[in-house]
Amino acid sequence: MNGPNRELLLAYLDDALDEMDTHVVEQELRASEPLRQQLRQLMQERDRGEHSVGAIWRRQRLSCPPRDRLGSFLLGVLDDDVQDYVQFHLQTIGCAYCLANLADLQTQQQDADGQVKKRRKRYFQTSAGLLQPPEKKKKG
């Protein structure tokens, strides 16, 4: 890459770059004050008035499924057509915003699974004495 151009910076703002290109753009931004100024200018231009249907669609993330639907996708409980759409949105489109949400939900699910196992173990340990048969009294 020969330094990010306007289109690449716009794609960066839309989270539409893959991981490698995002990394390269961020490295270039850290190293170049003129590039940071160009990025600020692009952000101001957007805020001033890009009101096309496509721009509004991207900014409002109208095609992104809500977080609760991503959670249902993770659990595999959506209707087939909705499940297919969410899978397409994540895998084919590669929406960085939704992939980050999904990764967060997966982490929360793993943390919750670990907490449930710890809680069950604690319950078992505290109730183990109650589950043992009563001792027989020694006759003497």
pLDDT digits 0-9 by tens, 80-95: 999 999 999 999 888 8
Assess whether 88 and 106 both reside in one domain: yes
| Res 15: pLDDT | 78
pTM of the full structure: 0.52
Q: Collect all residues with Cβ–Cβ distance below 8 Å to 64 and sequence separation of at least 6.
A: 89, 95, 97, 98
| Res 76: pLDDT | 94
The answer to whether 117 and 91 are in contact (CB under 8 A) is no
Q: Is residue 140 part of a domain?
A: no
Task: Give the total number of structural domains in the chain.
Answer: 2
Q: Is residue 126 part of a domain?
A: no
Assess whether 4 and 56 both reside in one domain: yes
How sure is the predictor about 127, in pLDDT bands with cuts at 50, 70 and 90? Answer: low
Percent of the chain with pLDDT over 70: 86
Angle between helices 19-31 and 6-13 (to 10 degrees): 110
As a whole number, mean pLDDT of residues 1-19 equals: 81
Q: Is residue 134 part of a domain?
A: no
pLDDT at 105 over 70: yes
Assess whether 72 and 103 both reside in one domain: yes
Q: Which domain holds residue 93?
A: 63-117
Q: Is residue 122 part of a domain?
A: no
Q: Is residue 125 part of a domain?
A: no
CA atoms within 13 A on the CB side of 125: 6
| Res 75: pLDDT | 93
* Alpha helices (H) along the chain: 6-13, 19-31, 33-49, 53-60, 67-75, 80-87, 96-131
